[in-house]
Every structure is written in C-alpha cells, then in structure tokens.
Copies of this chain bind each other. A is one copy, B any other.
Amino acid sequence: MTHDDDTAWLRDHWLGHRRLTRTTVLAFPERDLLEYAAPGMRPFAAMVHEVASLTGPLVDGVVERSWTWPRDRGPVPDSKDGVLALLDAATERIERAWPSVTAARLREVDTPIPRRTETVLATLLYFIDNEIHHRGQGYVYLRSLGIEPPPFYRR
C-alpha cells in the first residue's frame, strides 16, 4: 500500500509468512511432522498440505476470475522433503502469478466460495490468516515436543 497501484506489500506479507512456515516445517523431526498431533487434530504435515493445496486454486482465482476448488487435494506427503516440495511449489505459484495481480483486482468484489462475497484482498488475507493460524498450532506441537519454534518475527 505504498501507493494505490502497489500490491507488493501484500506479496511481501504473504511470502514472509511462507518463509516462516517453511522454517517451522524444518524445525520438526520428520516423524513428528508426519504423525504428531494434539487430540482431535491433524499432524502439522496435513495442515501444511492444506495450505499448499489451496494456494494454486487461490492464485488462479485471483488472476483468472474463475474459482475452482479441488474436491480431492491428493494425499499428504509421507516425507518431510515431500511436504517442503509441495510448499515450495505452491509458493512459486504465488511468485509466478503476482505480476498479474493488480491493485484494481484486489479491490474487486468477487465470490470465491458460495456465500463469501468480499474483496479479493479480503479473500487473500483470509487464506494467509489460515496459514498463520495453523502455523501457530504447529508451534504448540513443537513446544510439546520440547523443540523451540522459530521466532515469530523472523520472516
């Protein structure tokens, strides 16, 4: 929001969170990443899989004005490298799509999901917030495992 035509602040905000999410994945021992979970919750690998799987459809919807959410997100990777590869591929989609994301598009009101009618900016923040939310849960898992999570301010 440096000026009205600027969308770089949002890309930087998102990519900063992506870097911290990646660092959080790295902090997990592989087995705990894939298996450790609080009661009634998923392992952190499954949360990152959700975040990564939604990124492509999300940026496609922003750029192409057509929203298609996959019914089947595919399996959660069974290795730490697999989780990282999925996350990195998703992050590349943000970087590739971003030059097509205009400030005007961020201001447009759209309906990405039935009964959610809002600006494209609000939709993007919603999904970034979902990543922050789940990563915060990953921090509890790490602490419960006796592992110090990465500093929240480091991006």
Question: Is A125 interfacial (CB 8 A cutoff)?
Answer: yes
Question: Is A133 interfacial (CB 8 A cutoff)?
Answer: yes
Chain B nearest CB from A110 CB (Å) reads 13
By the criterion CB–CB under 8 Å, are B119 and A133 in contact?
Answer: no
Q: A152: which B residues are within 8 A, CB to CB?
A: 130, 133
Contact residues, A134-155 vs B (CB, 8 A): 134-137, 139-141, 143-144, 146, 152-153
By the criterion CB–CB under 8 Å, are A134 and B136 in contact?
Answer: yes
Q: Chain A at the B interface: mostly helix, strand, loop or mixed?
A: helix
By the criterion CB–CB under 8 Å, are A38 and B143 in contact?
Answer: yes
Question: Is A40 interfacial (CB 8 A cutoff)?
Answer: yes
Closest chain B residue to A6 by CB distance? Answer: B107
The distance in angstroms between the C-alpha atoms of A122 and B2, with both chains bound, is 11
By the criterion CB–CB under 8 Å, are B137 and A135 in contact?
Answer: no
The distance in angstroms between the C-alpha atoms of A152 and B140, with both chains bound, is 18
Contact residues, A26-44 vs B (CB, 8 A): 38-41
Q: A137: which B residues are within 8 A, CB to CB?
A: 136-137, 139-140
By the criterion CB–CB under 8 Å, are B41 and A119 in contact?
Answer: no
The distance in angstroms between the C-alpha atoms of A68 and B13, with both chains bound, is 25
Give 3 nearest A-B pairs by CB, closest first: A136-B136, A133-B136, A4-B4
